[in-house]
Structure 1
């Protein structure tokens, strides 16, 4: 034990110098760590302050509200789309016309047949027959591509032409 104490007494100045150097090194490490923590704290404060001095929680809440509103608007638009699509299916979408000469003694192709059909091939065929002394117009209903009235050759042509048109 005395050997150890004598060695310590002999090396006491060296031990004190080494400990002093270690204290100085630790002091510099503490200063560097303090600066790093201050920089990190400043970044954290900026981050939490957010944009326009709003903190991150307010920003997240605001954006979540915007997402909810956008979802409601999307749902409303989907309902509107379905409603418009249903209405569109019953609108005239397919039209075909043919002009022809109904009578040989009439000069030009003044008679006509026009088919107006919706997406389900429901609609009407209008036929105008032009003669020298009179002009007559007929309307024939069409239900699912069929007429309950007899159709002329020209009326059959415009019906088939209109039904073959893509929507």
Structure 2
């Protein structure tokens, strides 16, 4: 028995610095954990006290019912807004989203490219192409319906070019553009 105690004493004398260091580190870790738990407890206690102050005026059961009612109302409003948004997005498909403009000289000797072709298309490439032809003595405007990027009416080269420009144009959602 005495030899075991001597061995233990010799072990402690050899490694006492390591043992004390380990214990010190362990105590520091436990102290940091205690501070963290105390901070979280204070936050919880603050929230708890705030709820209990409101509970003095009305019961916790009434408060929970109010919260559930508010949540249900909010959910219904969100569904209504989602329905309206879907309806708007569906209608937006039929609004003018693509524009192509071509200026040109319809007749020799009449400069400054005063004639024009404008294509106004929706998301499905449906819309209209408007062609304004300027001459020295007169000005004429034509409008031709466009369906799927084509027309059942004969199109001039400038009208075809305006439609092609419009079809390549992409609608830019302004909410995603960063300043």
Fold in common (TM above 0.5): yes
User: Could you say what secondary structure the match of 1:106 adopts?
Assistant: coil
Residue 118 of structure 2 aligns to a residue whose secondary structure is strand
> Is it true that 1:130 corresponds to 2:134 in the alignment?
yes
User: In the aligned structure 1, how far is the partner of 2:50 from the partner of 2:132?
Assistant: 79
1:49–1:55 CA contact under 8 A, matched in 2: no
Partner of 1:111: 115
| Structure 2, unaligned runs of 5 or more | 1-47, 172-179
Match in the other structure for 2:104: 100
Is 1:70 the counterpart of 2:70? The answer is no
Moved more, 48-57 or 140-149: 48-57
CA pair 157-48 structure 1, distance change in 2 beyond 3 A: same
Over 3 Å off, 4+ runs: 44-52
Change (3 A) 1:46 1:122: closer
Within 2, Cα distance between the matches of 1:56 and 1:149?
A: 73
Q: Is the 8 A contact 1:49 1:56 kept in 2?
A: no
Distance 1:49 1:115 in 2: 66
**Cα gap change, 1:56/1:100 in structure 2, threshold over 3 Å: closer, same or farther?**
same
Task: Tell me the SS of whatever aligns to 2:123.
Answer: coil
RMSD between aligned residues: 2.0
Distance 2:121 2:76 in 1: 36
Aligned length: 124
Deviation at 1:54, TM superposition (A): 1.8
Higher Cα radius of gyration:
1
Give the TM-score normalised by structure 1: 0.69
- Inter-partner Cα distance in structure 2 for 1:85 and 1:133: 46
Note the residue ranges of structure 1 that are not aligned, 5 or more in a row: 1-43
SS in structure 1 of the partner of residue 92 of structure 2: helix
Give TM-score, length-normalised by structure 2. 0.65
